[in-house]
Amino acid sequence: MNLSFTEENYLKAIFHLNYPVNENVGTNAISEALNTRAASVTDMLKKLAEKELINYEKYQGVSLTDFGQKKAITIVRKHRLWEVFLVDKLNFKWDEVHDIAEELEHINSETLINRLEAFLDFPKRDPHGDPIPDKDGVIRSQELIPVSKLKVGDSGVISGVREHSADFLKYLEKTGLILGETLSIAEIVKFDSSVMVKIKKNQQMISREVAKNLLIAL
């Protein structure tokens, strides 16, 4: 079955909203994620349910069917592979690729995406540390912990972000909080839960907000 861009965007939004937990997603959550009105979402949910892509019962929220999940994962796979292409081959920065990938993810060709994956040497993660689903839709995700959950003395490798806005990514880049760097916790400020972190020989303070959105592999 061939889906419209819009339908694909809905599926992907639902996927992200209930991953990895599998709770039902509400209409309002989707409408916020997609910048549409709740009424529009209801209409679309009916259509997606009709196509057996989601499980939908009035007023109860939705979840993806296996079929819908498969479709959603394919879109995520394409999105992330294209991001790798943009960064690795075309020298885009990690804060510049999202919108372009948002369009490229809808290009329709399984061969294309499999060849792209091979061309990129089967990357495991995208430029933001997010895992790339394989051809069969399997996601090998590593457990990552936000800096805000660490204790003084803990250390680990910066491996992902929870927030993908260009502003946040640029901030991280500028202050050296880059994927792959080893980070340790020097101090947690009682007053506002700011965190003093150490990377290489440098110490720097990050806000709790930043700490919550920066993910570490232990």
* Nearest CB to DNA, comparing residues 53 and 169: 53
* 39: number of Cβ within 10 Å: 9
The residue range among 18-26, 53-61, 90-98, 162-170 that interacts with a copy of itself, by the rule CB under 8 A, is 90-98
- Rounded CA-CA distance 101/81 in Å is 9
Q: Would you count residue 4 as binding a copy of itself (CB under 8 A)?
A: no
- Rounded CA-CA distance 104/48 in Å is 22
Q: How far is the CB of 137 from DNA (least distance, A)?
A: 23
Which option in DNA, a copy of itself, Mn ion, none does residue 212 bind, with CB closer than 5 to 8 A by kind? none
Q: How many CA atoms lie within 13 A of 11 on its CB side?
A: 28
CA angle in degrees (0–180, nearest 5) for 192-197-198: 160
Torsion of CA 20, 23, 24, 30, to 10 degrees: -40
Query: Site residues for a copy of itself, window 112-141 (CB under 8 A)?
Result: 112, 115-116, 119
Query: Site residues for Mn ion, window 116-145 (CB under 5 A)?
Result: 126, 128
Q: Would you count residue 193 as binding a copy of itself (CB under 8 A)?
A: no
Out of 1, 21, 39, 118, point to the residue binding DNA (CB under 7 A).
39
CA angle in degrees (0–180, nearest 5) for 168-172-176: 170
- Would you say 72 and 11 are in contact if contact means Cβ atoms under 8 Å apart? yes
The residue range among 33-41, 52-60, 98-106, 196-204 that interacts with Mn ion, by the rule CB under 5 A, is 98-106
Q: How far is the CB of 71 from a copy of itself (least distance, A)?
A: 17
- Would you say 145 and 157 are in contact if contact means Cβ atoms under 8 Å apart? no
Q: Would you count residue 45 as binding a copy of itself (CB under 8 A)?
A: no
Alpha carbon 103 to its chain's center: 16
The residue range among 36-44, 114-122, 132-140, 204-212 that interacts with DNA, by the rule CB under 7 A, is 36-44
Distances (CA, A) of 46 to 35, 42, 142: 18, 6, 35
Out of 18, 19, 33, 38, point to the residue binding DNA (CB under 7 A).
38
Query: With contacts defined by CB under 7 A, how many residues of the chain interact with DNA?
Result: 25
Q: Which residues would be at the binding site for DNA (CB under 7 A)? A: 4, 6-7, 26-29, 35-47, 56, 58-61
Q: Which residues would be at the binding site for a copy of itself (CB under 8 A)? A: 86, 89-92, 96, 99-100, 103-104, 106-109, 111-112, 115-116, 119
